[in-house]
Structure 1
Amino acid sequence: MNNLPLYFDYAATTPVDERVIEVMVKCLGKAGNFGNPASNSHVYGQQARHSVELARRQVAGLVAADAEQIVWTSGATESNNLALKGIAQSRAGQGGHIITSRIEHKAVLDTVGQLEHAGFSVTYLAPDAQGLITPQAVKAALQDDTFLVSLMLVNNELGTLNDVVGIGEQVRHHGALLHVDAAQAVGKVAIELASWPVDLMSFSAHKVYGPKGIGALYVGPRARGQLHAQIHGGGHESGLRSGTLATHQIAAMGAAFALAGEVFEEETTRIRGLQQQLLAHLVQIPQLRLNGCRDQRIPHTLSLTFASADFNRQALAQVLAFSSTSACNSASTAASHVLLALGHDAESARQTIRLSLGRYTTGQDIERAAQAIKDNVCAPAFWAVARE
């Protein structure tokens, strides 16, 4: 009997889709497509290269980019590092100004922190009351020497959706580059890099029902000549990221992105319905706070703060697998930097949970989750009165 809690942490990671696993397994073992994609002198390498380039086209297809603009990495963290450090390195000895926000993923914040330590100046924008970074805020922060802006498309804790097109227009008019962390957005938001004023965009497979350990960076034409490699040793990926390509992971990422495009409309509609079903139950809880904009968001992720002193986190965790913050911060006892930037104090941040829905969430899961939350958040006396 499966006694595991219900999974409501899809923003942390997703299980690999069985259809993706089939593609991945075909690139393993002696009978599989195991060759080195860089070995062009024989059929094993040529077949592996074919799989890699098919996957590159599949990833590019989901985000409306050209295949040659996709660079393989080990995940969104490496993609963020390559984008930020790679552009900053082109300004060696010049310095300059970078704009980011206080609610970015630590893969961006820590990287920008390293650049700040190296002598670059940084502006950390605060979100507005809706948890958004607006084009107006970015415009006001631009300086004569601003060369790079890095902001996420979808916030990993709140689920809020930034207007990166409006932001990009301001950044491009200024002459700077825009990097967007889209790890939480792919498969949930329609992305059109062919027309968006975005120069660099980071992706991760394991947020889209693909395997961990593989990601990609979109490098647009304005950034291509300025981006410096951070890993050297063979000149792979047009010299931007050396290392033997992991055919099985790359093929799986391509399959996951292709599948995400096929099910996008249906899946988004279904998950929006599940979110509404959950909120219809939770609205009964007194002093419940939904963090972030109610409208400018994806339906997959909810950040909920419970004011009730009867909130029993440990008991709830026996029934639901959820997060309080991003997975990379969960080992820390510190309050979420995102919630603190949004105006929470440490206590209310600790009274907050993140619920994220995904491909395998069912209506029955929603009903069980709603009841578990009610049972572990509200005092029994309240519900006895409420049900009379």
Structure 2
Amino acid sequence: MSRSVLPLIVLAQFCCTSVWFAGNAVMTDMVAAYSLGPAALGSLTSAIQFGFICGTLVFAILAIADRFSPSRVFMVSALVAAGMNVCPTVEGNTLATLLVSRFVTGFCLAGIYPVGMKIASDYFDKGLGRSLGYLVGALVLGTAFPHLLRSFEGVLPWRFVFVLTSGIAAIGGLLIGVLVPDGPHRRSGQRPELMAFTQVFQKQDFRRAAFGYFGHMWELYTFWAFVPLLITAYSLQQASLSLNVPLLSFGIIAVGGVACVLGGYLSERFGVRSVARSALSLSGICCLLLPVFFLLAPLPLFLTLLFFWGMVVVMDSPLFSTLVAQSADPSLKGTALTIVNCLGFGLTIVSIQLLSYLLKQVEVIWIYPLLAMGPLLGVIATSSASNRLRKANVN
């Protein structure tokens, strides 16, 4: 059963997270269609992120993924998210109704992404790093998807994109709800864990894994957010260049999906923690090297750095989630993963907003070295893991 479960979870994860990212590809068209003004674009983009953070907070406090069947939670969340995601296509929307629909869509994603990892951890006690590598790889492809859609700008009507992503999200939810029962390693929680935030962080190994993940998240989404801007800035510097920015952005982000799978296999040979720290270190080095490559490197070498960075920047994501799952109390595994997701994604907003502000003060290439703070602190946090965690990483 477990062999067929992983492909189903991976497929469902990609289908369901498409409502998260694919909508961004047509957000500009939607804002124009409803004559909302330029300020609405940022508000609608932030609404789904804020919804996800609020959702993970509620799911964690109420221990939803531990008290109830994770497969059913996933299915219900996916179906509701699909319904809310299609709401912008209905005539008569206002900014308020659009904000509500995007917020609720993000809220429901708290029952999809971290719960999907919970389902995988309930099936794969050993080789969890490899399994989560496939799972996060699907999320990375979902993240890259809007850039691919942008490369076909003018071909796909914006309402069709919302309908398409809602349809495949509903299919993904039903795949999990109907075909994936609860895993053999699941331990059910019996009541809400109102003190779950403090309880899970009492374990030293969990704290180290979580802070490694936070360091990774400080860099990841900010790198993804600014990739198109960085490519555009490079092409402007080289006056003779005409680059397909959306397609290149898709490739640089999407290659991280392959890296997640590769990192999972490498972790089985070299250990989860070692591979995670190596990827985090290499990613931090890329932050520091960027200004040099931007100013001095020819296009092939510059793109090589970006594609390599696109791999290592996310390779460690499933591995840190593996460390979190392995170091958490089994009865709070789903809650622990949700809490770490909540705090990690909250940190991405701080990082993006800070660097967006600095972008008004300096050129884009000089803000990237600041991203290295995350990998540096993450490496420090995981550098002195206990012997027990080292043994766990071998599994």
Q: TM-score, normalised by structure 2?
A: 0.29
Q: Higher strand share goes to which structure?
A: 1
- TM-score of the superposition, structure 1-length normalised? 0.30
